[in-house]
Structure formats: structure tokens, C-alpha cells
Structure 1
Amino acid sequence: MLNTRTYHVPDISCDHCRNSIEGALDDVAGVDSRMVDIESKTVVVTGSASEDAVTKAISDAGYEVERVTGAGSMGGHPGPMP
């Protein structure tokens, strides 16, 4: 089952940070996509990777990370049709 989860990473400040986190997540089995937003200091991860694997990869890349509770869960509920 694919999950979409959002993480707050307060130390994101530049393209180097984005590239480091993206590279770390590229090595995690089950990560289908990842989006790092410098402005909001968030990382959105979609895939079947465990939350532990995702947070460990971001932490091992040198960044503090915390899950944004209640955010980023698709749960099979698509948005409204236009």
C-alpha cells in the first residue's frame, strides 16, 4: 500500500540541503517519490517505505526530522473532481 507522509525538517535552508535529503531518500527501498520544499521546510514522501526508514535516512543525512501528524495521508480518498 502506498502512503504519502509529510515530515518537518527545520534545518532545510538551501539547494544543498534539498539535494542531500533527496539523495538519501533515493537510497531507501519503497520510496516512490519525494518532494523537498525549502520554503515550508517540509519533505513529502510517497511509497511503501516504512516511516522508520524514511526518518532514519533524513536523520543520517544530518537533519532533524519529525512527522507532521495528520498530514499527507492519501488513504485512497481522491480530491474533488473539477
Structure 2
Amino acid sequence: MTTTITVKGMSCEHCEQTVEEALQSVSGVSDARADHEAERATIEGDSDSAVLARAVEDAGYEASM
């Protein structure tokens, strides 16, 4: 399953990496890609979107569905 969430606050590739690592630490996520220019992250796997958003927020960014 593919989930896309909006991520605000990323400004560079380091931010993308931080968001990707936060998302990949969530149980059920097989892959995560963040794009700071598009302000979104695409997640592959079987995880609840609220849990994904919380992981992004815990990393210091704003997330919404």
C-alpha cells in the first residue's frame, strides 16, 4: 500500500533524510521517500497514517494527510 502525506518544514536534502529515517522506523514501513520541494513524503507498507504523521512530527516537521 502506498501512502502520501504532506510534510511542511523541510528545506534541504538533510531534512528529507531525517523524515525518511523517521518514517522507516515505523513498524510496517518498507520504504519512505521525502521531497522537500514538493512538501510530501511517499511511504510504502502497511502502517496507520496517524502513526506516520506522528513520526514526522516527532522528527520536528509538520505532517498532514
The structure that has the greater radius of gyration is 1
- 1:1-80, aligned counterparts within 5 Å? 3-67=1-65
- C-alpha displacement of 1:41: 1.0
Aligned residues: 65
Query: 1 or 2, which has the higher strand percentage?
Result: 2
CA distance in 2, matches of 1:37, 1:47: 18
Q: Following the alignment from structure 2 to structure 1, what is the Cα–Cα distance between the partners of residues 23 and 7? A: 14
Structure-2-length-normalised TM-score: 0.90
Q: Deviations over 1:33-78 (max 9, x none)?
A: 11111211110111101112111100100100101xxxxxxxxxxx
Runs of 4+ in 1 over 3 A off after TM superposition: none
Higher share in helix:
2
Task: Report the residue type matching 2:15 in the other structure.
Answer: C
